[in-house]
Amino acid sequence: MAVHLLREIEHLKKEILMVGAMAELSVREATTAIETYDSTLAHQVIDKDVQLDQREVDVEEACLRALALHQPVATDLRFIVAVLKINSDLERVGDLAVNMAEHAVFLASRPRLDIGFDSSAMASGVQVMLKKSLDALVNYNVKQAQEVCAQDDEIDAMNRQMYQLVQRAVQDRPEHTETLIHMLSVVRHLERIADHATNIAEDVIYMIKGDIIRHRAELYESK
């Protein structure tokens, strides 16, 4: 049974990394579509989401099968539970990338509007968080996971800054209100992706150390 469980775990590692790679690509392409006003690329992100959804279902079924057949304990059990949760977070990341792509289609049809917010810097930061959370999973690296958790505050601050800028812009340029709302929605989706990256990092810490650190910000600091 131990050999079969080991094979299942190796299979799950490969599958969850594939889901992660697909989610990363969706976010990267959605942000590129927004920055370049590329509606064709945005539609590609939307169309490919069904593939990520199917992968997510496949991983969930594999996790449940491993739990039912092998009744793992200790580290193996924590790994499978973590993969189940990470899998769900990655599927949501894919959904948020689709939402961003839908906004990109709208924005591509309107003139560019500059309100003094560096959305590319925020998008880059979010992508770094997502990649680092998956790297922490691959490398069983608690320090990398803690760094992701710590970076979430920076993304939250950018989200608040964007909200304030949009508030002022709506007052100053009400004729662009619809465009501004779409721009704000993009930033909110980025902030939510950062939250999911943080969830993944927290699950990695749980997987490695057995510590549940949600709501315990002091543990985000490297030790």
The encoded tokens of residue 129 equal 């968080």
pLDDT tens for the 223 residues of the chain, in order: 578 888 889 999 999 999 999 999 999 999 999 999 999 999 999 999 999 999 999 999 999 999 998 888 888 999 999 999 999 999 999 999 999 999 999 999 999 999 999 999 999 999 999 999 999 998 999 999 999 999 999 999 999 999 999 999 999 999 999 999 999 999 999 999 999 999 999 999 999 988 777 655 554 544 4
Instruction: Give the dihedral of Cα atoms 130, 133, 139, 145; nearest 10 deg.
Output: 150
pTM for the structure as a whole: 0.92
Whether residue 16 contacts residue 81, with contact meaning beta carbons closer than 8 Å, is answered with: no
2-220: CATH, from 3.20.20.70, 2.40.10.120, 1.20.58.220, 1.20.1050.140: 1.20.58.220
